[in-house]
Amino acid sequence: MKHLVLTRFGDPAESVHLADDPEPTPGPGEVLVRVEAAAINPSDLLLMQGKYLARPPLPAPVGAEGVGVVERAGSDADRGLLGKRVIVLPTYEYGTWAQKIVVPAHNVVEVPDADPLQLGMLSINPVTAHLLLDGVAEVGVGDWVGQTAANSAVGRLVIALARQRGYKTLNVVRRTDAAEDLRQAGGDTVLVSGPDLAGDVTRELGDEKLALVLDPLGGPTASALIAALKFRGTAVVYGSLIGAPSGVSPADLYAREVRYTGFWLGNWYSTAPRREIRSTLAYLARLVADGALSVPVEATYPLADYRKAFDHADAGGRGGKVLFTFD
Ligand SMILES: NC(=O)c1ccc[n+]([C@@H]2O[C@H](COP(=O)([O-])OP(=O)(O)OC[C@H]3O[C@@H](n4cnc5c(N)ncnc54)[C@H](OP(=O)(O)O)[C@@H]3O)[C@@H](O)[C@H]2O)c1
């Protein structure tokens, strides 16, 4: 049974090795899942570099999310799961970059029949996009949502879910070809960040303002969007891709009473009632199965090519996500 193991924090290509061990046996309350697809997310790369919020004791299994089929059930585990396709909740404990993994049955969720690649990306980015739109601030039909790094997987999912809710999106990207892509994907306004982004945003919005800003980037791009928030509008930081603060000004805070807050999915998974987690995943899985939600796939790799896979996932200018797939 082949699986990736993190032995030290640093450059992922040098910090991970491919191990081959006997198939694990599910204990009481556990199931054995044969993994079909497992995404490589920015958070996985950060975790391997030792820069993420989660920092497991080493050596550690790696890979946070994935989809697969339940092959065996231990005593006390729901035997109804046998043969079912499930996603593994992204607790960062099991290491989905493996041919087979043992997981407590309460940490898998059955999913409908749909493309395994899309299901292998369900538990992090779609949930994040859904909660950013519905869980942090009040946004109404016809309101504008502004976002940076809008061609990321989260950004594309925000566009799709915002359209379903009747919100308009103002999207900022750093590449012209990505802008065209997002227009095709339904972004209402798409801007390429440039020296006068704030002016471009004002021109596009006319008399209107943003109700919500979603920012995984930081720096001047985020500041330009925050400057266009309405009175008591909300800005949510959910990543730090360029590692710079957004530069929210004191006047933004005291004169326009902008709400400046953050979001981390790990908090939701560790505090939300299990019922809410299951119903949220069921709702999003149904949208994936219906074809209403999808994320472009840039490439898939076998586990043995993990170095190439990490380099590819870390590269800018990708057209979609990079995943591991398994024979
Ligand atoms: N807080 C949470 O709970 C949570 C949950 C999920 C994701 N996230 C965060 O959300 C962000 C997006 O995740 P994802 O999986 O959707 O990403 P992704 O699909 O891998 O896409 C990465 C995006 O970041 C852009 N980007 C990277 N470096 C950049 C830079 N220096 N300047 C401008 N743009 C840059 C890329 O633009 P190009 O296409 O031009 O290269 C691309 O749009 C990540 O920071 C991730 O950690 C946070």
3-state secondary structure string, the chain?
Answer: CEEEEECCCCCHHHHEEEEECCCCCCCCCEEEEEEEEEEECHHHHHHHHCCCCCCCCCCEECCCCEEEEEEEECCCCCHHHCCCEEEECCCCCCCCCECEEEEEHHHEEECCCCCHHHHCCCCCHHHHHHHHHHCCCCCCCCCEEEECCCCCHHHHHHHHHHHHHCCEEEEEECCHHHHHHHHHCCCCEEEECCCCHHHHHHHHHCCCCEEEEEECCCHHHHHHHHCCEEEEEEEEECCCCCCCCCCCCHHHHHCCCCEEEECCHHHHHHHCCHHHHHHHHHHHHHHHHCCCCCCCEEEEECHHHHHHHHHHHHCCCCCCEEEEECC
Do you find a cis peptide bond into 59, omega within 30 degrees of 0? yes
Dist. CA 254 → ligand 1 center (Å)? 30
Region of residue 286 (left: phi > 0; alpha: psi -120 to 50; beta: else): alpha
Q: How far apart are CA 253 and CA 260, in angstroms?
A: 8
150 CA closest ligand 1 atom index: 43
Maximum pairwise Cα distance, the chain: 64
> What CATH superfamily is the domain 2-124+271-325?
Medium-chain alcohol dehydrogenases, catalytic domain (3.90.180.10)
Looking at the chain, the domain(s) classified CATH 3.40.50.720 span: 137-262
Q: What percent of the chain has pLDDT over 90?
A: 92
Residue 301 β-bridge partners: 324
Contact residues of ligand 1, CB 6 A cut-off: 41-43, 124-125, 128, 149, 151-154, 174-175, 178, 216-217, 238-239, 241-242, 263-265, 316-318, 321
pLDDT band at 185 (very low <50, low <70, confident <90, very high): very high
Dist. CA 239 → ligand 1 center (Å)? 8
Q: Which pTM value belongs to this model?
A: 0.97
Residue 242 scores a pLDDT above 90: no
What is the mean pLDDT of the segment spanning 174-186?
Answer: 96
Looking at the chain, the domain(s) classified CATH 3.90.180.10 span: 2-124+271-325
Could you give phi then psi for residue 85, rounded to 5 degrees? Answer: -85, 130
What is the mean pLDDT of the segment spanning 187-206?
Answer: 97
Cα angle for residues 82, 124, 312 (degrees, 5° grid):
105
Dist. CA 241 → ligand 1 center (Å)? 6
- Minimum CA distance residue for ligand 1 atom 21: 152
Instruction: Choose the weakest-confidence range: 158-167, 174-183, 235-244.
Output: 235-244
Segment 137-151, tens digit of pLDDT: 889 999 999 999 999
Q: How far apart are CA 53 and CA 111, in angstroms?
A: 28
Dist. CA 295 → ligand 1 center (Å)? 13
pLDDT band at 251 (very low <50, low <70, confident <90, very high): confident
Segment 85-127, tens digit of pLDDT: 999 999 999 999 999 999 999 999 999 999 999 999 999 999 9
Task: Give me the residue label for tokens 């996603």.
Answer: 87
Question: How much is the pLDDT for 54?
Answer: 85
What is the mean pLDDT of the segment spanning 256-265?
Answer: 95
- Minimum CA distance residue for ligand 1 atom 18: 152
Residue 233 scores a pLDDT above 80: yes
* CATH entry 3.40.50.720 includes domain 137-262: yes
Question: How much is the pLDDT for 218?
Answer: 86
Q: Choose the residue to mutate in 197, 241, 261 for probing ligand 1, maximizing ligand atoms within 8 Å of C-beta.
A: 241
265 CA closest ligand 1 atom index: 3
Question: How much is the pLDDT for 135?
Answer: 81
What is the mean pLDDT of the segment spanning 247-268?
Answer: 92
Dist. CA 326 → ligand 1 center (Å)? 25
Q: How far apart are CA 86 and CA 93, in angstroms?
A: 17
Segment 36-80, tens digit of pLDDT: 999 999 999 999 999 998 899 999 999 999 999 999 999 999 999
Q: What percent of the chain has pLDDT over 70?
A: 100
- Minimum CA distance residue for ligand 1 atom 17: 152
